[in-house]
Homo-oligomer: A and B are copies of this chain.
Amino acid sequence: MSNDKTAITPTRAQDFPEWYQQVVKAADLAENSETRGCMVIKPWGYGIWELIQQQLDRMFKATGHQNAYFPLLIPISYLEKEAEHAEGFATECAVVTHHRLEPQKDPVTGKTKMIPTGELAEPYIIRPTSETIIGAAFSRWVQSYRDLPLLINQWANVMRWEMRPRLFLRTAEFLWQEGHTAHETKEEAIDETRQMHRVYETFLRDHLAIPVIPGEKTENERFPGADMTLTVEAMVQDRKAIQAGTSHYLGQNFSKAQDISFTGRDGTVQHVHTTSWGVSTRMIGTLIMAHSDDDGLVLPPRVATQQIVIIPVTPKEDTKQGVLDACKALAETLRLEKRFHGDPLRVHVDTRDIQGGVKKWEWVKKGVPIRIEIGPRDIETRKVCVQRRDQASNEKEFVDKEDFIRNATDILQEIHNSLLQRATAFRDSNIVPCESIDTFHAHWGQDNPGWLITPWAGTPEEEDELSKKHKITIRCLPLDKQDEPEAKCILTGKPTKSRAVWGRSY
């Protein structure tokens, strides 16, 4: 690939949405299936999800949560209990109405077709989220304050009938985790909601190298049935926002609808306060859009399916075995002796019998943080050729093998830091304070506009009107910007200490 050519066509600047599709394809992460809106997550993409799962799961367990598993199918009568929640989800869900297929011969074509039979007395929906079915279990499990808090998490697939699916970002079926907790008091439940919000912020920053804006959703943007929704908002390279994770305080809305009650310390019967919080395979879409470049995927090292790929350079048959042995020995040393944030290094040796340049570009497009080449000369000089995915594709450095082994985890951390720094600088230069409604209106006429942060004290209706006008939303009320110097609301002129962040989003 020469310097003026990129591995991905089109580039980000030419057509961002199409660039995204091409990166997913070039990195072999996922593909569409014949099931409407559902994707196949291929091994390289699923590897990222496995790492996200493992690392988040440790954080959940460290904060006292336990995993459990609840039914995929929800009786539709459950949805009739919490009205707002039902309205929010029932318009887009998969409904199971029959439990049998029978073969039937088509009189015209003569072919056998399968026909649904065995109609169910009560249909089920495939869970779009599990508040109702987990709530039903909680109402069985909680009797006394001694049974609280209940701190449960579920790793599962869920389904929402999306009209305009997009790989990872919006798919009918997706994988996620959903935490569900029940508490004695409002304070405790809110503490939990905030704690898990912080877990997501930390995870995105320290594992995915994505700097988010943590904040609260306005009433308009809340989870259906929640009293408070906290969100972590990521900015990706076309300056759109992606809601990367949410944590909800559900008050007593679900516990009253489903009778999750307990005998309190004072002997009275009370309803629990519940929370729920989740992140999904959408995070993979977020990290692709946040970090990747015109040569393909760029993976943050902690969630890289492979962190180091070693490519043997074997021009001649007589030195080939020696080079292969050296590559495998280096991989083994790195795997056994080095740990990055507690986990053994993930190192792959690409021994395929194909051209070296083809190999190199495949791993560039797949986003591997460090590529190593070893040839016959390097064995004599005890050096390895190191290339970093966060640097230009033609940059390389020959370093002593022993130095590389010693520094491998530091280099991975440097790559993480450089991705985080780059994303933070990009985000910060694209969130602009705005106190004039004229500037505000004009802003959204630009191509790929950044976010605006404004004083805001409007009503939900006023927010809705502004949002629709410009196809934007209040992404959040940033947690650290709710006690600012008093200023005039950008629309109503009412004095306010609160600030809102506005932007376009996926």
Contacts and interface: CB of A to CB of B under 8 A. Distances in A.
A66 interface: yes
Number of copies: 2
Given A113-B80, A157-B157, A161-B100, A67 B47 contact: yes
B79 A67 contact: no
A399 interface: no
Nearest to A305: B66
Interface string A121-132: 001111000000
A43 B66 contact: yes
Nearest to A57: B50
B97 A92 contact: no
A116 B91 CA distance: 10
Contact of A38 (B72, B103, B152): B72
Interface residues of A, number: 66
Contacts of A92: 99-100
A137 interface: yes
B94 A140 contact: no
Given A33-B136, A92-B99, A100-B93, A173 B72 contact: yes
B70 A33 contact: yes
A101 interface: yes
Contact of A41 (B42, B69, B77): B69
Contact of A114 (B33, B35, B71, B76): B76
Contacts of A125: 101
B69 A46 contact: yes
Given A93-B99, A99-B93, A136-B33, A43 B67 contact: yes
B34 A80 contact: no
Name the residue among A39, A91, A113 with the largest chain B CB count within 10 angstroms: A91
Contact of A95 (B50, B76, B90, B100): B100
Given A40-B68, A40-B69, A101 B79 contact: yes
A479 B151 CA distance: 47
A73 B174 CA distance: 12
A124 B87 CA distance: 24
Interface of A: 31, 33-35, 38-43, 46-47, 49-50, 66-80, 86-87, 90-103, 111-114, 116, 118, 123-126, 133, 136-137, 140, 152, 156-157, 159, 161, 173, 175
Given A31-B137, A50-B67, A94-B98, 11 more contacts: A34-B136, A35-B74, A43-B67, A46-B69, A73-B159, A90-B100, A93-B101, A95-B96, A95-B98, A97-B97, A116-B123
7 contacts: A35-B124, A40-B69, A42-B68, A79-B101, A86-B103, A90-B103, A97-B116
